[in-house]
Amino acid sequence: MLNAETNQYRFPEGFWWGSAASATQTEGAADVDGKGKNIWDYWYEIEPNRFFNGVGPQKTSQFYYKYKEDIQLMKEIGHNSFRMSISWSRMFPNGKGEVNPKAVLFYNQVINELIKYGIEPFVCLFHFDMPMELQKMGGWVNREVVDAYVSYAKTCFELFGDRVKKWFTHNEPIVPVEGGYLYDFHYPNEVDFAKAVQVGYHTILSSAKAIKVYKELHQDGKIGIILNLTPSYPRSQHPADVKAAILADAFFNRSFLDPSVKGEFPAELVQILKEEAFMPVINEGDLEIIKNNTVDLLGVNYYQPRRVKAKENLPNPKAPFLPERYFDYYIMTGRKMNPHRGWEIYEKGIYDILKNLRDNYGNIECFISENGMGVEGEEKFRDENGIIQDDYRIEFIHEHLKWVHKAIQEGSNVKGYHLWTFMDNWSWTNSYKNRYGLISINLNKDGERTIKKSGQWFKSVSLNNGF
């Protein structure tokens, strides 16, 4: 058992220990109590074959019905904070118009239950789940959707902001850009770089406008954004490899990091968009809004590094434009892998991100908002007492936390660590293929919850504020 007195790695007082989850991935109840369809509900209806084992979002982990049990389990495994998201299409079935009173009741109950158990709610407003009625208008391509989002955000601030003091405008906003408009892994499955750029721009604008509204309400909380920052490492120090890494970073990290924290877009990216004639439509006054409404708090999601090299071959000039026109990926010899997810495990990446934020982004207040390990077929690790012996997950968290601790020792302004995720959840097109939770979900037994070995370990880390 860990002991606070003998901790080798001691974290600052008040460190945020917890986990993160999203509405669509956990709530279920996809078509009850007035909830409208989002893009996942619709996509599953028309193409269920795109989802692992044909399992869609209609049921997921039943948090909508089991939230009281789940929040008790959060307390039991040492949570003092928890990041959730609000479903836009549950609050506004058509994306705008009249608010759904049953949704308001549900989120009030969840927030109050968290506070009752001493768990601070961190609330994200958008986690990949565009209301389908707004997607029919073009989703984030359409500027009207920005206005609908800001209205939705203001409603949430007014309804819940007396108790919620940590707000986040978006989770991983680069992902809907990549998935929906570049690489075909989210609805609407388009491959259109011009739309991708407009979607990214409108997302940043919506974030800044929501921040402006929040500040005008004077609710004494903090508002930020959650970004998946994936360090871009060059193959070598050859100038061409280094430039490739800089450009990859501009496309996938700095495209959202710079405007969110600094209020401006990276010069390298703007230059490429101008040269390639892909600049978004920008209205008068937009850039001033973005400049003047930066985040108070930054969530950092980290899973894997990005390793790049200079282009080996000329791109096909007739193929759809993609960022990979400027770099190639490469596989580093001897890399450590999570074979289930196909992702490299590189723990030092989390330190490199935090060091970059310290040195180049004003040491903004931040926290690790997601980090985790998805494993397929975890049932084979369940022992005779019914406990999943996920020592691999304990090692994964342990090794990443060592690098977080080092960053803190060197002055990084990082305030917490949230694992992805609290309980096994539905993971988009992967459904339940890979399990990430501290809590196991048995789908064959009405979603029965059991604490994994990692959950017990996490409890001791939280209670001792280190290990």
* Catalytically annotated residues: 172, 370
Pick from 24, 126, 118: nearest CA to 71:
118
Whole-Å CA distances, 304 to 95, 162, 229, 353: 34, 36, 9, 11
Tokens 């908002």 map to which residue?
Answer: 369
Amino acid making up residue 170: H
- Is the Cβ–Cβ distance between 4 and 466 less than 8 Å? yes
Tokens 């899973």 map to which residue?
Answer: 303
Amino acid making up residue 274: K
Give strand pairing partners of 301. 228, 370
Query: Strand, coil or helix: what is 182?
Result: coil
Per-position b or e across 231-243, b if 16+ CB within 10 A of its CB: bbbbbeeeeebeb
Burial class (CB in 10 A: 0-12, 13-18, 19+), 406: middle
Pick from 391, 390, 404, 388: nearest CA to 350:
404
Pick from 445, 450, 428, 429: nearest CA to 437:
450
